[in-house]
Amino acid sequence: MRKISGLSAGDYAEIQNLYSYYIWCSDAGDAAAYASCFTADGVLEIPALDMVVRSRQQLEVYKRKDKEMRGDRYRRHHNYGLHLEKVDDVTVRGTCYFHGYNGEPGGLPVLADAGMYQDAIVKVEGEWLFARRLVTMDASSFIPPKL
């Protein structure tokens, strides 16, 4: 049986755009834009890496340090299998898989990690944002920056 999301087409498209914007900002290392994908008290949690980042301010610090650690390498993410489920008018549960790749300039990227996002997404002042991202890693070569 097919699971219906309960979302309007507009809300679904806006949340899909949030997912895309998040990976564009993350891969570019744009710390302020990356953090803007979260609520002011948003949380990024990656249990496999024993990592919890709380608040937009700390998310910006995290992404800035992450970009510094990459050096000249580039980063690419791909989300797929997105499923959204309306909880109420301002809350949505989202789940998708991801693959992350790293590459040297001029070279093809290499798979660096894979896993799943489980998200609490909320509408704040008309904008959909991540309130909490739980990242379940299948495998990773990622070493998180120290905050």
pLDDT digits (tens, 9 = 90+) for 49-63: 899 999 999 999 999
Query: Which H helix or E strand runs over 9?
Result: helix 9-28
pLDDT surpasses 60 at 1? no
pLDDT above 90 coverage of the chain, percent: 88
Sheet holding 127-140, edge to edge: 51-54, 38-46, 127-140, 110-124, 91-103, 74-88
**Interatomic CA distance for residues 82 and 145, integer angstroms:** 28
Write the DSSP symbol of residue 107: S
- What's the pLDDT at 143? 64
User: Please, what are the domains in the chain?
Assistant: 9-139 (3.10.450.50)
pLDDT digits (tens, 9 = 90+) for 24-44: 999 999 999 999 999 999 999
pLDDT surpasses 50 at 145? yes
Phi/psi region, residue 71 (left: phi>0; alpha: psi -120 to 50; beta: rest), is left
Average pLDDT over residues 125-138: 96
**Interatomic CA distance for residues 25 and 21, integer angstroms:** 6
Q: Output helix, strand, coil percentages for the chain, rounded to the nearest 5.
A: 30, 50, 25
